Amino acid sequence: MKITYDPQVDAAYISFRTGPVEVTTIRLTEDIAVDFGPGEEIVGIEVLDASEHMGFTKKKPTVKLENLEPV
């Protein structure tokens, strides 16, 4: 899993799979979309206005890992 954040546009992407894959995107809200791959596997989640929806500050976002190891 990889989480990327672009503070210039306040967008986050949580990627669950590496490498290219054909996806179908379903918008849950105007700001949140889920990318599905083959077999309805979740490939990634896009969050616009991420600081608001994910509860962090744009200047210094932090991530707490629980039961996960950083790579």
pLDDT of residue 4: 94
Does position 64 have pLDDT exceeding 90, yes or no? no
**What is this structure's pTM?**
0.88
pLDDT of residue 57: 84
For the chain, the three-class secondary structure string (H helix, E strand, C coil) is CEEEEECCCCEEEEECCCCCCCCEEEECCCCEEEEECHHHCEEEEEEECHHHHHCCCCCCCCCCCCCCCCC
> Where are the chain's structural domains?
2-54
pLDDT of residue 69: 84
**What is the per-residue pLDDT across 16-57, written as a single tens digit (0 to 9) for each?**
988 889 999 999 999 999 999 999 999 999 999 999 999 888
